[in-house]
Amino acid sequence: MNKKYYAILFAAALFITGTVNADSGKTKDDSILDLTITCGLPLGHCKGEPTQDSGIAKAGPSVTLRDLVEKTITANPEVQASYHAYLAAEQEHNAAIGGYLPRVDLISTIRAQERLAPNFSNTQTPDSQTQLVLHQMLFDGFATRNDVNRLGHAARVRYYQIQSTMQSVAMETVKAYMDTQKYRQFVAYASDNYVAHKQIYDRIEERVIAGVGRRVDLEQANARLNLAEANLLTQSTNLQNVEARYQRLTGELPPAELPEVDFFKTSVEPTATKALETTYQKNPDVLAAIENIIATEDEVNAKRAKYSPRLDLLGTKNLHTSIDGQNSISAGDAIQLTMSYNIFNGFSDKSVVGQTIEKKYNAQDLRDKACRDTRQTLVIAYTDIINLKAQLPLRDQHQLSIQKAREAYRKQFDIGQRTLLDLLDTENEYFNSRMNYTTTDRDLTTAYARTYAAQGELLNKLDVVRSDDFPDLAQGDPLDDYKVCETVAPDLKQINLDNIVLKAQPLNPDLSIKMPGTPVKSSE
């Protein structure tokens, strides 16, 4: 009984203490709507909300973008596949070089042959024999030389393709990094927006219960609260999708902290045309297309070697001959020079040459396509830099102005100078203004990265290198002879606000005249 008695007293004391604290916390300002943001976390992590696991772990120390890209281009499967394709092309090139060197074979034969005549002085063909045979190509119409050159340029094509892949993967990694930062902020904004709408709804509900509010206002507040929750769920889903893309590229989930990126916003060329000149000199896709043209030209020359004679040197050293043929001609060492000349091959050689010529034309068309694609990518990215830099201060001023208006509307609503709809619209506009500013800021950084990637300079800007012994092949001089890309970019569209205002129709004080279908008032 004593234990129950003390337990009841303890519970009553807690209840009284909580009531007193709640009453003592009230001030004369309690009538003002409190929209202080108290939560910047996803739904389920705000105070008073049920916990909901996002399903994606945030673990591990923070990582810089440079370290992340360097690790990614070393371990990413797509980059690794391109790297091994390049190594295979190098080995194929080395195999072609072997055509210049002699070929040495050890040949052993054992035969069973019918004897039609007696074996005088052991001069018949031996039953067993071992020979060392040397074969050296002396002239093959320069087929080997052209084939070696072709495969050398083909290896360079693979080299530039892996450079392109690394630039592409690095660009995707940068975008995933920036998008993860952006959508984390979006989730925080959506959480703040949800909290603000929840506070408005709770206050309206209190007024309705007290009989001083309208039921329609409560329905309006509830509708906007549902929309705010839906926005929060949408942004949380978007964040999970971005983190999945981040994991696909890097092989790991993003850490809890992603440092801000500020080293992208460096200078670019003063004009898009100047930026194109740099692009055509260093873009790996353009360089790979040019190398492919040179490779196909070497292939044409290699196929034309069939029209030339072929000279080979053949040397034979007998190491062992059975006793029944030790005095035969076949037992002696020999050296011989042979020439072969293709007189007629059913026009097959002509067709093969024609086929490789068409491949050369195809390679030229692919180079022209690479020029156009690269120009489009560069110009769009460069234009985005110019436009987003102009938009950023406007977006910033927009969100600051809306923030001030939001605070003013909150106070005016409590004294009856603003409607509930005005207040809710201001909250949504503030939410959208914050998202628009963040989007512009992140997109500007991404636009810089896209410009550098199009120029083949993204890895250099990040100071990133592969951790293995990746070769650094110098660009060949003949490439300049094949660069036919037009370094002409479209002019940036300039907007003259003063001219737009001058061309606009002035506001008419009589709004009825501007409304279609409304009769014009008589002057009488």
% of the chain exceeding 90 in pLDDT: 62
| Residue 35 pLDDT grade (very low, low, confident, very high; cuts 50, 70, 90) | very low
- State how far Cα 465 lies from the chain centre: 17
Give the span between the Cα atoms of 289 and 161, in whole angstroms. Answer: 9
Residue with tokens 């800007």: 461
CA atoms within 13 A on the CB side of 135: 10
pLDDT value at residue 477 = 66
% of the chain exceeding 70 in pLDDT: 83
Buried b / exposed e across 115-125, counting CB within 10 Å, b at 16+? eeeeeeeeebb
pLDDT value at residue 474 = 73
Q: Is the dihedral angle over the CA atoms 380, 382, 385, 387 positive or is it negative?
A: negative
Q: Is 488 exposed, middle or buried (0-12, 13-18, 19+ CB in 10 A)?
A: exposed
Helix (H, G, I), strand (E, B) or coil at 422: helix
pLDDT at 116 over 90: no
Q: Are 491 and 497 within 8 A, CB to CB? A: no
Helix (H, G, I), strand (E, B) or coil at 495: coil
pLDDT at 378 over 90: yes
Q: Average the pLDDT over 162-174 and give the result.
A: 95
**Which residues, in sequence order, are bridge partners of residue 317?**
132
pLDDT value at residue 492 = 78
pLDDT value at residue 55 = 36
pLDDT value at residue 509 = 62
